[in-house]
Amino acid sequence: MAVVLWRQCLPRAWLCRRAGQGCGRHYRAALCAELKQPLAIEEVAPRPVRPHEVRVDVHFCGVNFADILVCRGQYQERPHLPFIPGMEFSGTVLETGTDVSTVKKGDRVIGMSGFNSMAEECIIDQKILWQIPDKVSLREAATLPISYGTAILALEHRARTQPGETVLVTAAAGATGLAVIDVATNVLQAKVIAVAGSDEKCKLAMQRGAQSSVNYSQGSLKEAVRKLVGTGGVHVAIDMVGGDVFLEALRSLAWEGRIVVVGFAGGNIASMPTNLLLLKNISAMGLYYGQYRDQNFPVFSKNLSSALQYCQEGRIQPYVGKVFKLEEVNDAFLHVMQRKSMGKVLLSLK
């Protein structure tokens, strides 16, 4: 039923209104006015920037599964209606508040905006903006905040992945899955087993650097992993699917293996048999990336800085699967919901 809701055509009253109807300058934005309904493309009047804030001309905005959950009222955070979704973006600085010292007009930046970047402009606190290095394009940069920020945090900070270790990653052809493959192989010199739900997705994961792959729709994930690595198991698992896939990944861990729970794209949250943790001295941990912004900002900021540095140095190569225009935002959501997406999905605001 939820998929059908995103298929519906927008009512005429929700279509773009022209600027200049007595309200001055406007900019276009995707607006969530009602949960589980199509987003409207509206023209919004800009507000003044506060002393610590920056107004950004948005060029690209990431489309994440979390954006869809927010618009369905199923995410951990629930902004008040109506709101503009969009958690990450790249763009150029239009205006700075009186207390802003980190960026200036014309600078190219990326940011983690919370909820407001599926729009031609957004206003954001200066502390959650990062300047884009010269060698990184605005399109590449837009892929980094959530997907690569999550991958780096999961692999480096949570799992403490070491060179030569084997990393199993589920939902491997998605934006974060491919980022995990990229960082694990090209930055940490680890070996990756990519887990996905189709041969096509497994093929892409292999093309992007995984040493081997498993199509979990064709049988037992645990048995497939055992054929690849033997009874010893994998050192690290990064899981974004949940349910039975999580449990199979957990059972595939080696002695003192570590599993990081990133999400539940499969829709089911598994109950974990804790005796498995005891028998192999396994560590199971969660990763709610957005919380680091509030609870441990130095680590949060370091991850974004590392992603930009790795990209500048050519050590990672983000993969963009599809780009939609702002007025196609409902098609972009449907594309992700139907699990057609491979790599990063972006909205282009230009």
What residues make up the domain containing 266? 146-286
Whole-number pLDDT of residue 24: 65
Report how far Cα 55 is from the mean position of its chain's Cα atoms: 23
Give domain status of residue 260, yes or no: yes
Give domain status of residue 206, yes or no: yes
Do 235 and 273 belong to one domain? yes
Do 25 and 78 belong to one domain? yes
Do 268 and 185 belong to one domain? yes
Give domain status of residue 223, yes or no: yes
User: What's the one-letter identity of residue 60?
Assistant: F
Other CB atoms within 10 Å distance of the CB of residue 82:
13
Q: Which of 347, 338, 346 is nearest to 320 (CA)?
A: 346
Domain boundary among 286, 303, 334: 286
Structure tokens given for 306: 């590392």
B/e letters for 116-141, b = 16+ CB within 10 Å, e = fewer, are bbbbbbbbbbbebbbbbeeebebbbb
Phi-psi group of 178: left, alpha or beta (phi > 0 → left; psi -120 to 50 → alpha; rest → beta): alpha
Q: Which CATH number is 245's domain given?
A: 3.40.50.720
Do 54 and 163 belong to one domain? no
DSSP annotation string for 21-64: SSS---EEEEEB-STTSPPEEEEEPPPPPPTTEEEEEEEEEEE-
Give domain status of residue 316, yes or no: no
Do 99 and 56 belong to one domain? yes
Do 173 and 134 belong to one domain? no
Angstrom distance (rounded) from CA 184 to CA 190: 5
Whole-number pLDDT of residue 264: 87
Give domain status of residue 125, yes or no: yes
Angstrom distance (rounded) from CA 54 to CA 126: 6
Do 199 and 90 belong to one domain? no
Whole-number pLDDT of residue 75: 86
pLDDT for 209-256, tens place per residue?
Answer: 999 999 999 999 999 999 999 989 999 999 999 999 999 999 999 999
Give domain status of residue 134, yes or no: yes
Report in angstroms the alpha-carbon separations of 131 from 90, 107, 118, 138.
10, 7, 20, 11
Do 259 and 195 belong to one domain? yes
Do 158 and 197 belong to one domain? yes
Domain boundary among 261, 286, 311: 286
Do 252 and 137 belong to one domain? no
Angle between helices 199-207 and 175-186 (to 10 degrees): 30
**Per the structure, how many domains does the chain have?**
2
Do 268 and 335 belong to one domain? no
Give me the residues of the chain with pLDDT under 50, please: 1-23
Angstrom distance (rounded) from CA 127 to CA 6: 34
Give domain status of residue 112, yes or no: yes
Q: Which CATH number is 69's domain given?
A: 3.90.180.10
Do 81 and 201 belong to one domain? no
Angstrom distance (rounded) from CA 165 to CA 238: 13
Give domain status of residue 310, yes or no: no
